[in-house]
Amino acid sequence: MTEEHDSIFETVDGIYRTESRRILATLIKLLGDFDLAEESLQNAFAAAIGSWPRDGMPANPRAWLVSAGRFKAVDALRRRARFDAVQRELAKTQETTSEEAAERPELEDDRLRLIFVCCHPALSPDAQIALTLREVCGLTTEEIARAHLTTAPTVAQRIVRAKAKIREAKIPYEVPSISELPERLEIVLHVVYLIFNEGYSASSGDQLTRTDLTQEAIRLTRLLIQLLPEPDSEATGLLALMLLNESRRAARLSAEGDVVLLEDQDRSLWNQEQITEGVVLVRKALATRNVGAYTLQAAIAAVHAEAPSSKDTDWNEIVGLYDLLQKIEPSPVVELNRAVAVAMRDGESVGLRLIDDLLARGELENYSFAHAGQAELYRRLGRTDDARQSYERALQLMEQEPERRFIERRLKELAGANHRASERGS
């Protein structure tokens, strides 16, 4: 094997990594069939490995691969002995291709179309996430299954069903019109946000974070911002929110993999590059007239990111931002977070009263973090028995292993404190 051959092989490998999703998106549009497109993509790369060392690199490898993929698809259809369909298919692809070439030299639009198809409201939320990770991000079924703590066959089935629905109900391969874009974009952003959250705070399992998912979510949002016909303040806000949260990754866990609370984190470990970018994006999003929930959450994260310590955080600003958030997107979880900020600003007993009221309303009864928050404030007030009760309730509800260890550690500390207190008392 020649050196040149090796280097072309490496080039093909590189193109696969950077371009394959783009090429897939275009093939899906041209062929109108996810599975056929996936198969043709693999065949096109196989053809490249065969012919590029012999014939030399094409001037535009991506266009070459799209074209090869199309011909491989025609071959595949012919093999399936659907000759009429082949002719129809062929005629159709030729038509759209020439149209496409004339109208848009850039194929990036196809990726945007693909995102909107994967996040179509007619698909279930689980299917939206699985399909986006598979088709847009290129994760394997196994990787998606691991990230969602489910089995590969379950994920595969979800994807198969979603593709069948796309085909049978005829979900079109298009970016929604301007009038429909806001509603549809909201779903896309929500899917991305769920992907990020699953990576940032895995809902169960032995790891607190899954870096691959947070990275994919950030990459996807960058792509979305780059591709959208008009800038969207909430897309900007969401990117800022993810970057600012992600910036704390290295400080959120101890060397032993245990949870470190925000106030105890070593802030020198925070990623300054992500913070700088996030803060610029928040300012940009806040400067628009359309300030939404992602932007406000990002603004809160930015206040934390710029504070030298928990004590020196502008808690008043944070409470104010939570008030705004509560106004545009009311939820008991926002109220809970606000109560914690109020506790930092006005003292534990004030915050505790808010959390007590909130828990009395019942909506957060099964939300472990509400009980953990209440326990933490009791602990600081020295109300050991109350703290223990709340921590125990939180422990019953908590499914994340690192968070469970944190609560168990707190309970042990409380038992120690109680023991010392009773010794002193006797």
Partner 1 sequence: MKYLCMVYIEEAKLAALSDEEFDQLDKDSLAYDKELRAGGYLIAAQALQSVQTATTLRVRKNKLSATDGPFAETKEQLCGFVLIEAKDLNDAIRVASKIPVAGVGSVEVRPVRELEEQERWDKRG
Q: Tell me whether residue 31 is exposed, middle or buried, using C-beta atoms within 10 angstroms of its C-beta: 0 to 12, 13 to 18, 19 or more.
A: buried
Q: Tell me whether residue 157 is exposed, middle or buried, using C-beta atoms within 10 angstroms of its C-beta: 0 to 12, 13 to 18, 19 or more.
A: middle
Nearer to partner 1, 82 or 361 (CB): 82
- State in angstroms the smallest separation of the CB of 226 from partner 1: 24
Q: Which of 54, 79, 170, 311 binds partner 1 (CB under 8 A)?
A: 170
Using alpha carbons, select from 286, 287, 308 the residue that is nearest to residue 241. 286
> Is 169 one of the binding residues for partner 1 (CB under 8 A)?
yes
Nearer to partner 1, 46 or 122 (CB): 122
String marking each residue 113-152 x if it binds partner 1 according to CB under 8 A: -------x-x------------------------------
Using alpha carbons, select from 49, 58, 67 the residue that is nearest to residue 8. 49
Read off the amino acid at residue 387.
A
Instruction: Please give the angle made by the CA atoms of 378, 381 and 385, to the nearest 5 degrees.
Output: 50
Asked if 61 and 19 touch (Cβ cutoff 8 Å), the reply is: yes
Nearer to partner 1, 36 or 144 (CB): 36
Nearer to partner 1, 113 or 252 (CB): 113
- State in angstroms the smallest separation of the CB of 346 from partner 1: 46
Nearer to partner 1, 13 or 180 (CB): 180
CA R_g for the chain: 26
Nearer to partner 1, 162 or 243 (CB): 162
Nearer to partner 1, 81 or 360 (CB): 81
Element (H, E) at 49: helix 34-55
- State in angstroms the smallest separation of the CB of 172 from partner 1: 4
Q: Which stretch binds partner 1 (CB under 8 A): 47-55, 172-180, 276-284, 409-417?
A: 172-180
Asked if 116 and 176 touch (Cβ cutoff 8 Å), the reply is: yes
For residue 265, which phi and psi values (nearest 5 degrees)? -70, 145
- State in angstroms the smallest separation of the CB of 187 from partner 1: 13
Residues 6 or more apart whose CB falls under 8 angstroms from that of 31 comprise 37, 40, 70, 73, 89, 93
C-alpha dist (Å) from residue 260 to 6, 215, 253, 311: 47, 22, 5, 16
Residues 6 or more apart whose CB falls under 8 angstroms from that of 369 comprise 336, 394
Q: Which stretch binds partner 1 (CB under 8 A): 44-52, 59-67, 100-108, 166-174?
A: 166-174
Helix, strand, or coil (residue 378): helix
Helices vs strands, H then E, count in the chain? 20, 0
Q: Which stretch binds partner 1 (CB under 8 A): 63-71, 79-87, 141-149, 187-195?
A: 79-87
What is the footprint of partner 1 within residues 337-356 (CB under 8 A)? none
- State in angstroms the smallest separation of the CB of 122 from partner 1: 6
Q: Which of 4, 174, 206, 385 binds partner 1 (CB under 8 A)?
A: 174
The number of residues that bind partner 1 (CB under 8 A) is 13
Residues 6 or more apart whose CB falls under 8 angstroms from that of 214 comprise 196, 199, 200, 242, 246, 249
- State in angstroms the smallest separation of the CB of 79 from partner 1: 13
Nearer to partner 1, 171 or 244 (CB): 171
Q: Which of 5, 14, 60, 82 binds partner 1 (CB under 8 A)?
A: 82
Residues 6 or more apart whose CB falls under 8 angstroms from that of 69 comprise 23, 27, 37, 40, 41, 43, 44
Bridge partners (DSSP) listed for residue 21? none
Using alpha carbons, select from 228, 316, 238 the residue that is nearest to residue 284. 238
Nearer to partner 1, 80 or 104 (CB): 80
Tokens linked to 281: 């994006």
- State in angstroms the smallest separation of the CB of 174 from partner 1: 7
Nearer to partner 1, 167 or 412 (CB): 167
- State in angstroms the smallest separation of the CB of 88 from partner 1: 13
What is the footprint of partner 1 within residues 176-235 (CB under 8 A)? 176, 180
Sites of contact with partner 1 (CB under 8 A): 81-82, 84, 120, 122, 168-172, 174, 176, 180
